[in-house]
Structure 1
Amino acid sequence: MEALGGYPTKSSAFRAKLFKVLLSVALCMGSLYLIQNKLSKSRKPKDFYSYEVKDARGRTMSLEKYRGKVSLVVNVASGSELTEQNYGSLQELHRELGTSHFNVLAFPCSQYGDTETGTSRDIEAFARSNYGVTFPIFSKIKIMGSEAEPAFKFITDSVQRIPKWNFWKFLVNPEGQVVHFWKPEEPIEEIRKEAIVLVRNIILKKRQEL
């Protein structure tokens, strides 16, 4: 409705002003959403060491502490027919190559039958007391399905393979990229050869930087 003389009423002018304010707010909110979405995507982990996981006691920890080293990531189990053989050989490899340049990183998983039924702390205590394991054992995780642990999903996505049983092994280089994987029946000697090459490269690089 217009006032006499063709001028807009005060109410219509107020509505027009309010519309402009609301439009401006909407545009600002849209811009903020786009910026936030872009930042969120830019923060998406790009390598294995960019992730956080939980240790056997449920404490959140960053895998960044292993950046610059070689890691052998393994889905372990306490009650598998492969447990004794693998825990022994993994501990030997962990001790041989040393934690300065190499670590075995164990992720218990309960999705393969009844081979890992205890709590994360039970699993850690079992491995320590029965096999003298000194390498890190993290909280029990899921590898398959929508609840898969993000750090381990990065591993399986990298090689386009999901473990079909316990003790699959994935070799991660110092930059956090998966460079090789082995099924449980494959000999530890093959893994040792690949790991030694990466460890030697780290040592040579450090010497060149001195």
Structure 2
Amino acid sequence: MCQAVCVLLAMTLVLQCCKGEDFYSHTIKDHNGNDVSLEQYRGKVTLVVNVASRCGYTEKTYRELKKLHDILSFGGFFSVLAFPCSQFGDQELSDMSEIIDFVTSEFDVEFPIFNKINVIGEHADPAFKRLIEESSVVPDWNFYKYLVDETGHTVKAWGTRTSIEEVFDDIQAAVDKAKGASKPDDSKNFASSTTDASKDEL
């Protein structure tokens, strides 16, 4: 009896833990190899992309991502998050310093470029596994795009060939939603003040 209760308690704790986990719950490595908590992005919308420097889509997509970030990051409610990956055609540079030099000199990007990761397979990064699990979209090439809302959950995902222009409205809508969620609810105060004013008039 006691053993059964212990097992049930353990299962409950596991389920609660899993239920509370989302993309922003993870810790990843920055381009210098330091641990970075994704909790710093909670409350923001992020577009997570597996990037490569030597892909046929590199120039077009990086320029689109830069423009997107420049437009929507104003106000602090949006960021592109780039994860270099060599799993598709071995098209990413081998050294992180080379990658950073390339994207900053060629495209003048200001959004975060994290450390190289695997996005599929046995050694896939847990944060990226979370994106795939929630979206049911498995990348099969570079520049897959995952839209994560302010609560850390994946709400949309698009493949390599989908341009940023095609999905801009969806991303902007998510950012607008995040902005709205961050505003204090003044409706109660308004209702209270209206009621008080009505009482004063009586």
Normalising by structure 2, what TM-score?
Answer: 0.81
C-alpha separation between the residues in 2 aligned to 1:107 and 1:54? 10
Equivalence map 1:162-173=2 (5 Å)? 162-173=138-149
Whether 1:63 and 2:38 are equivalent positions in the alignment is yes
The structural deviation recorded for 1:42 is 4.2
Which runs of 5 or more structure 1 residues have no equivalent in the other structure? 1-26
What is the aligned-residue RMSD (CA, Å)?
2.2
Equivalence map 1:31-180=2 (5 Å)? 42-44=16-18, 46-98=21-73, 100-180=76-156
C-alpha separation between the residues in 2 aligned to 1:116 and 1:82? 12
The structural deviation recorded for 1:125 is 2.1
C-alpha separation between the residues in 2 aligned to 1:192 and 1:127? 22
Deviations 1:131-155 (A, max 9, x none): 1011001110001111000000100
Q: Does structure 2 conserve the Cα–Cα contact (< 8 Å) formed by 1:119 and 1:140?
A: no
Q: Does structure 1 conserve the Cα–Cα contact (< 8 Å) formed by 2:50 and 2:85?
A: yes
Q: Does structure 2 conserve the Cα–Cα contact (< 8 Å) formed by 1:78 and 1:115?
A: yes
The structural deviation recorded for 1:176 is 0.8
C-alpha separation between the residues in 2 aligned to 1:72 and 1:206? 19
Report the counterpart of residue 184 of structure 1 in structure 2: 160
C-alpha separation between the residues in 2 aligned to 1:41 and 1:125? 43
Once structures 1 and 2 are overlaid, which stretch shifts more, 103-112 or 197-206? 197-206
Whether 1:194 and 2:170 are equivalent positions in the alignment is yes
* Percent of residue pairs identical: 40
Which runs of 5 or more structure 2 residues have no equivalent in the other structure? 187-202
C-alpha separation between the residues in 1 aligned to 2:169 and 2:63? 18
Q: Which amino acid aligns with 1:54?
A: K
Report the counterpart of residue 194 of structure 2 in structure 1: none
Structure-2 change in CA distance of 1:85 and 1:40 (3 Å): same
C-alpha separation between the residues in 2 aligned to 1:189 and 1:109? 23
C-alpha separation between the residues in 1 aligned to 2:180 and 2:115? 34
Aligned residue pairs total: 182
C-alpha separation between the residues in 2 aligned to 1:46 and 1:207? 25
Q: Which amino acid aligns with 1:130?
A: E
Normalising by structure 1, what TM-score?
Answer: 0.78
